[in-house]
Chains A and B, each alone.
Chain A
Amino acid sequence: MKKANISENKRFDIVNRFVLLLIAVIIVVPIWNIVACSFSSGKSLAEGGFIFWPKEFSFENYKAVMNDNSIWKAYVISVSKTVIGVVTHVFFCSMVAYGLSKKNLMGRKLYTSMGIITLFFSGGMIPTYLLMRQLHLTNRFMIYIIPALFSYYDVVILMNFFRQIPVSLEESAKIDGAGVWKIFLRIIIPLSKPALATIALFNGVYQWNDFMTAKLYITDKALYPVQMKLYEIIVQQSVKNISVGSVVMNTTSKGIQLATIVITTVPILIAYPLLQKHFVSGMMLGAVKE
């Protein structure tokens, strides 16, 4: 009886590991395929017939991307929107969260219930669009920054973190005559690095991957972030595909598309180990955050 149990245990482990390995293959191989295709020459891309390694290895797609100024401009926009967006978002949210974390704050009940309402209700796409137009934020770089300054989710996460900081630290500073702003900037912020890093990383991924803001509010191509630029390349490509009956393809533009996909994703891959360190704790802090 006991022996049967052990062999059954082993069988379970083997099957389990085998299926998981299969799942890993299903995730990794398609991504690898894109990288392989992006290093393929236009000719072998048109012929196909490979999955893991291009028939004709070539840097021509990356060279074409390098020579395309509009892609690099979009890259610069993406980097600036991510850096400026993250810094301002983290600062703004932690400032509000610090104020709200004080139990004696007047109007605290009102403020927090307003925040909770924003979690559950929103005006939706159209009223928000009309508002941004009225505020003259369309076709401005600031559309990436200002509406993304605040998130009540992040405020709640930070508020919970600030509450765990021992009061004695603040009190001794208070005795020394420091005001709330000084305490916030000199004591609270340096002590909250792990929580701030979690928020910053998630917001950074949001900013980098965000495409809807540009799609909705930006028509000026000089302000396109790289995701929007990539979308434009993809749409142009698929229009070409269909108009020629999907038989012949403009292979160079397909190669450029793939190379752009890869360079768009590289920053995420670089940040991924850091992200992985932080996201489990971030999930726990935010409970059911999406």
Chain B
Amino acid sequence: MSKKKLGFLNRLKKQAGLQSMVIPGVIFMIIFCFMPIYGLSIAFKNYTVVDTMSTAKWVGFDNFLIAFKDKLFWKSVINTLGISFLKLLIGFPIPIILSIMIYEIKDGPFKRIMQTISYLPHFLSWIVLGGMMISWMSTTGMFNEILLSLGVISEPRNILLDADKYWLIAVLSDVWKEAGWGTILYLAAMAGIDTTYYEAAEIDGASRMKQILHITLPLLKTIISLNFILTVSGLLKSNLDQTLVLMNSQNRGKAEVIDSYVYRMGITQGDFSYAAAVGLGVSIVSVILLLTANYFTSKVNEESVL
């Protein structure tokens, strides 16, 4: 026994160098990842300004019950879901279509330039893009200019102040920013497709559209399902950066999403326990969504992607 222990210590001593490299990372994870997970316990407490983490009183599920009765919370859920479903509808197929279109061009300068341009918006921050959008949509901005010259509208208006258009604005700006970047994964998958499939199809007289429908898309099935699962599990996630920069007093009713609600209740108003409860509840529902989506796609695909 003691001999074994001695061996253990000896081995540890021999590894001192290696351990000294890894231990800082482990300490980091304990402090910055696991402590906040433990900190979620305040969702079941009444944490006020005078309390510390340990002196706060346990209140069970009270904070969750308050959220259930909170109209503003449900409004943020509806906005989050509305934006997410629109994003799923528009933002999910576009990168697939775009990547197939890029794949169908022969290698050359046009393809390279197209890729360079379409990846670029991904690297703009939401604050920069938000500032740009405010300029495009202002009364003297680009959009009003185009719409006026096309005769669609007769009076210039600030489009961002129109609450009813906010969901669409949020979704389309997200698609504009991320669609090109989203093609990388699909293009990488397509680079692995054996080109003899296409040669054989050509000899059989299959049109390009038919080749896409019967060769390219079926071969992308796994990666599309994987992306679909990730997107569905993210239905309750919202884009806080985007919301904070685009939200104003006129469109707040349509723009407030769960994350910005948590931010407002927690950080701005200091109701930490309530905000943490909302955040925790939403992440639990997200995990359930992930598992459900995986279950259904595995039925379709006959094997689980995750």
A interface with B by C-beta (< 8 Å) = 1, 5, 8-9, 12-13, 16-17, 19-20, 23-24, 26-31, 33-34, 37, 45-51, 92, 95-96, 98-100, 102, 104-107, 111, 114-115, 117-118, 121-131, 134-135, 147, 149-150, 152, 155, 179-181, 184, 205, 208-212, 215-216, 227-228, 230-231, 233-234, 237-238, 241-242, 246-247, 249, 254, 257-258, 260-261, 264-265, 268, 272, 275-276, 279-280, 283-284, 288
- Nearest first, the 6 closest Cβ-Cβ pairs linking A and B are A123-B36, A48-B140, A127-B39, A96-B25, A209-B125, A99-B21
Bound form: Cα–Cα A114–B12 in Å:
20
Q: List 26 A-B contacts (CB under 8 A).
A: A8-B208, A17-B110, A20-B105, A23-B98, A48-B156, A51-B145, A95-B25, A96-B25, A100-B22, A107-B22, A124-B279, A125-B267, A126-B262, A126-B275, A127-B39, A128-B32, A129-B267, A131-B35, A180-B17, A180-B21, A234-B127, A234-B134, A249-B140, A257-B131, A260-B131, A261-B131
Contacts of A95 in B (CB 8 A): 21, 24-25
Contacts of A155 in B (CB 8 A): 25
Q: Does A92 lie within 8 Å of B35, measured CB to CB?
A: no
Q: Answer whether residue B44 sits at the interface, using C-beta atoms and an 8 A cutoff.
A: no
Interface residues of B in 222-266 (CB under 8 A from A): 226, 230, 240-241, 244-245, 248-250, 259, 262-263, 266
Per-position contact with A for B116-151: 1 when CB-CB < 8 Å, else 0? 111111011111101110111011111011100000
Number of B interface residues, CB 8 Å?
A: 92
Bound form: Cα–Cα A99–B15 in Å:
10
Partner of A181, one of B17, B141, B142: B17
Binds A, one of B71-79, B84-92, B180-188, B213-221: B180-188
Knowing that A126-B39, A129-B266, A233-B131 touch, tell me 16 more A-B residue pairs with CB under 8 angstroms. Answer: A5-B207, A12-B104, A20-B110, A33-B135, A48-B144, A105-B19, A106-B19, A115-B29, A123-B38, A126-B42, A149-B28, A212-B240, A227-B127, A227-B128, A264-B127, A276-B116
Interface residues of B in 187-229 (CB under 8 A from A): 188, 205, 207-209, 226
Contacts of A24 in B (CB 8 A): 113-114, 117-118
Q: Does B36 lie within 8 Å of A111, measured CB to CB?
A: no
Contacts of B114 in A (CB 8 A): 20, 23-24
Is the contact region of chain B dominated by helix, strand, or loop, or is it mixed?
helix
Bound form: Cα–Cα A258–B135 in Å:
8
Partner of B188, one of A124, A135, A254, A283: A283
Q: Does B188 lie within 8 Å of A111, measured CB to CB?
A: no
Bound form: Cα–Cα A246–B15 in Å:
67
Q: Does B36 lie within 8 Å of A127, measured CB to CB?
A: yes
Q: Answer whether residue B170 sits at the interface, using C-beta atoms and an 8 A cutoff.
A: no
The verdict on A33 contacting B37 (CB below 8 Å), with A9-B208, A211-B125, A261-B132 known, is no
Q: Does B140 lie within 8 Å of A99, measured CB to CB?
A: no
| Whole-angstrom distance between the Cβ of B48 and the nearest chain A Cβ | 12
| Whole-angstrom distance between the Cβ of A279 and the nearest chain B Cβ | 7
Q: Does A33 lie within 8 Å of B136, measured CB to CB?
A: yes
| Whole-angstrom distance between the Cβ of B56 and the nearest chain A Cβ | 11
Q: Does A247 lie within 8 Å of B139, measured CB to CB?
A: yes
Q: Does B124 lie within 8 Å of A92, measured CB to CB?
A: no
Q: Does A8 lie within 8 Å of B36, measured CB to CB?
A: no
Q: Answer whether residue B81 sits at the interface, using C-beta atoms and an 8 A cutoff.
A: no
Bound form: Cα–Cα A80–B156 in Å:
42
Q: Does B134 lie within 8 Å of A237, measured CB to CB?
A: yes
| Whole-angstrom distance between the Cβ of B233 and the nearest chain A Cβ | 11
Q: Does A288 lie within 8 Å of B185, measured CB to CB?
A: yes
